[in-house]
Structure 1
């Protein structure tokens, strides 16, 4: 059966663009609907692109090109999981509301999530109410790190200090009008803040 070279090229281009916009490859059904062709035609054209070395295709949904592979290795998808208190301790809802694709050159390697700052207790550290704070997921921290700390069922964003002599932890707000939070019981580090994203207007 003859191959429409233009359609072949268009399917590859569409798969790339779809991936850049959605961080996942399009399904055969989505490609078929976009070009108003049958799913068997899409399957045949994807296999032809694979056989020609234009794409990597697993026969299901994963469609990779040289451009999408560059994107995958240079970016990381980070979920926004809710708000984090920069005031009194409040529970952070772990509900992913959206994703951001961030370059590895900016954030480094690791597993990340984003929380939206709520309150003004970290303003002296440059974290204002409504800012998006990038958190590297880890369960340890050094003195002076800004951490997501879990105490009981409450979560807060504060500067962390370990006071071993008095067997306590200090969660220090970066706001001269607020007092330290002293924790004697178990305190769990859920991550360390590494970047802040904010609106300038």
Structure 2
């Protein structure tokens, strides 16, 4: 499948369940706009320590960056076991882009 995207956009196949509560499912194609900055609350594609890429909600704190999943259970406010936020020193995070859409084929 090839999507016709603007020059500063790209697509990735999303794997995992950290964004399931906002409707992004394992196997979805996510559309990312290339940019190296983010605002609090943006869902970003971030590179951690130049090794691991992740798609999470971004929050900047005084001395850290929080990457927060969106996969809390629907019946309680308790997060699933692997759904806690991770905090990083800013120098360990590189923003690769911002989520702007998803494509799901049925």
Q: Please list every run of at least 4 consecutive aligned residues from structure 1 whose deviation after the TM superposition is greater than 6 angstroms.
A: none
- Is 2:21 the partner of 1:115? no
Aligned to 2:64: 168
Match of 2:43 in 1: 146
Which ranges of structure 1 fall in alignment gaps of 5 or more residues?
Answer: 1-97, 103-108
Name structure 2 gaps, 5 residues minimum: 73-79
Tell me whether 1:159 sits opposite 2:64 in the alignment: no
- TM-score, normalising length: structure 1: 0.45
Normalised to the residue count of structure 2, the TM-score between the two structures is 0.82
Select the structure of larger CA radius of gyration.
Answer: 1
SS at match of 1:101: coil
RMSD of Structure 2 on Structure 1 (CA): 1.5
Q: Is the 8 A contact 1:169 1:183 kept in 2?
A: yes
Could you report, residue by residue, the CA deviation over 1:6-63 in whole angstroms, capped at 9, with x for unpaired residues?
A: xxxxxxxxxxxxxxxxxxxxxxxxxxxxxxxxxxxxxxxxxxxxxxxxxxxxxxxxxx
Bigger helix fraction: 1
Which structure has more relative contact order (CA 8 Å, sep 6+)? It is: 2
Q: For residues 99-114 of structure 1, what are the structure 2 equivalents within 5 Å?
A: 99-102=2-5, 111-114=8-11
